Amino acid sequence: MHQPCCDGESQIRAALQRSILNRLEEKKIVPILVHGDASFAGQGVVFESMQMQDLKNYSVGGTIHVIVNNQIGFTTVPLKGRSGIYSSDLAKAINAPIFHVNADSLEDVHKVFKAAATYRQKFNKDVVIDLIGYRKMGHNELDQPSFT
């Protein structure tokens, strides 16, 4: 007997549908996805999931996407690796707010995560946090941290 594969979002949707999918139930479960900078901009499954945020049978009431943006996934400068300046530009397609924050400033990171959670709870939409850091030890043995 074939059993369908269940990812985290599928399990959340199933739980929400069992609970009559009302807005109060959606607020109890907050999906948080952590992406690498290259995976957010380069994997098709990210956009496929994001563009379905408002479809009745796929909505989870908004997801908080956190991009760990340290440029480890990219081996070229951003202008030669993608059309947009930021790896988070993909979220513009669904009009999701994008918060760019310096990962070294913990106070700013705290404020941005709080603002993102507030937005998600109020509007039940996806929100993106672009956590911009640097690669402390470089990309590989030939790279230098000063490149970022």
Query: For the chain, what percent of residues have pLDDT higher than 90?
Result: 26
Given this model, what pLDDT does residue 52 score? 79
Given this model, what pLDDT does residue 140 score? 55
Given this model, what pLDDT does residue 1 score? 47
Stated pTM of the model: 0.72
Find all residues with CB under 8 Å of 26, minimum gap 6, and list them: 16, 59, 60, 61, 62, 124
Distance between CA atoms of 132 and 124, rounded to whole angstroms? 25
pLDDT by residue for the chain (148 residues), tens only, comes to: 445 555 666 777 666 665 545 556 667 788 888 988 877 877 777 787 788 777 777 778 888 999 988 766 655 666 666 667 788 888 888 899 999 999 999 999 999 999 999 999 999 899 999 998 876 665 555 555 555 5
Which token pair is 56?
Answer: 């009745």
Distance between CA atoms of 118 and 55, rounded to whole angstroms? 22
Architecture of domain 31-139: 3-Layer(aba) Sandwich (3.40)
Rounded-to-10 torsion of CA 67, 4, 12, 73: 0
